[in-house]
Structures are given as C-alpha cells and as structure tokens.
Structure 1
Amino acid sequence: MPIIVNLDVMLARRKMTLSALAETVNITLANLSILKSGRAKAVRFSTLAAICQALDCQPADILEHRHDPRDLRSVED
C-alpha cells in the first residue's frame, strides 16, 4: 500500500507510549495499534486531528505517500 504510517516515529520523537497516546486521544489501544501497524483501512479526520494535537505535529508527519512503481494506473491520465 502506498500510504505509510509513521506513528511509531512520532511517538519516539515525543517520547510517548502508544498507551499514553490512546488515553490522551480517547481511542482504544487496539484501534491505535491497527493504525500504527499500517493495517487500518481508514482514519477519521477527527481522530487524525486529535493525534496531531497530542503529538504536536502535522498529518504529513504521520502519513506519507510513496509511489508504487508496480501500480499500473498512470497518474498522467
């Protein structure tokens, strides 16, 4: 998947545990773990905003897009 979740990087930079973030954002540890591992299929903007506020960062610090050269769809279409 071309969307990379760098939540673990931001947690390390802020010296915060996943459990502390889950409590601060009021989201279950299980759901936050799914997001952190990159297995989430979606994330609500309100959840992303709460995470960004708790970590004092921007969405781009957490989510990254990497072009997949195996993707057959052309961006130029």
Structure 2
Amino acid sequence: MPVRVTLDALIVKKGLKARDLAAEIGLSETQLSLFRSGKVKGIRFSTLARLCAALGCRPGDLLDYDLDPADLAVPDDDPG
C-alpha cells in the first residue's frame, strides 16, 4: 500500500514509549500498535487529532505516501 504510517519514527524522535503515548491519548496499546504497523483500514479524525496534540505534530508527520499509478484509476463501481 502506498500510504505508510511513520508514527514509529516520531515516537523515537520525541523519546517516548508507545505504551505511554497510548495511555496519554486514551487508546489501548493494541490499537496503537495496529496503527503503527499500518494494519488498520482507517483512523478516526478525533484519534488523529489526539495523536497530533500529544506529539506536537501535524497529520502529515504521521503518514507518508508513495505514488502508485493504480491510485489514479477510478473503479467502475466508484460513486465518487
């Protein structure tokens, strides 16, 4: 998947422990771990906002994107 979660690098840069961050923002360690590994299909904006507030960052600091030409193709059943 061309969208990558870069939260681990930010946690290291800030000198935090994932366990402490999870507690600070009200997530279980399991939920935070799933996000960190990119194994989630989505994230609530409220969770993203809490992460950004706790880390002093912007959403773009938590995610990265590598262009995949397939992302430009619109599926036939896409209503948008």
TM-score normalised by structure 1 residue count:
0.88
Name the count of aligned residue pairs.
74
C-alpha RMSD of the superposition: 1.6
CA–CA separation in structure 2 for the residues paired with 1:73 and 1:60:
21
- 2:22 — aligned with what? 22
- Residue 66 (structure 1) shift: 1.2
What does residue 34 of structure 2 align with?
Answer: 34
Deviation at 1:27, TM superposition (A): 0.4
Shift of 1:40: 0.8
Aligned to 1:64: 64
- The one-letter code sitting in structure 1 at the alignment partner of 2:52 is C
Q: Which runs of 5+ in 1 are unaligned?
A: none
Q: Aligned equivalents of 1:72 and 1:34: distance in 2? A: 23
Counterpart in 2 of 1:5? 5
Distance in 2, matches of 1:56 and 1:72, equals: 30
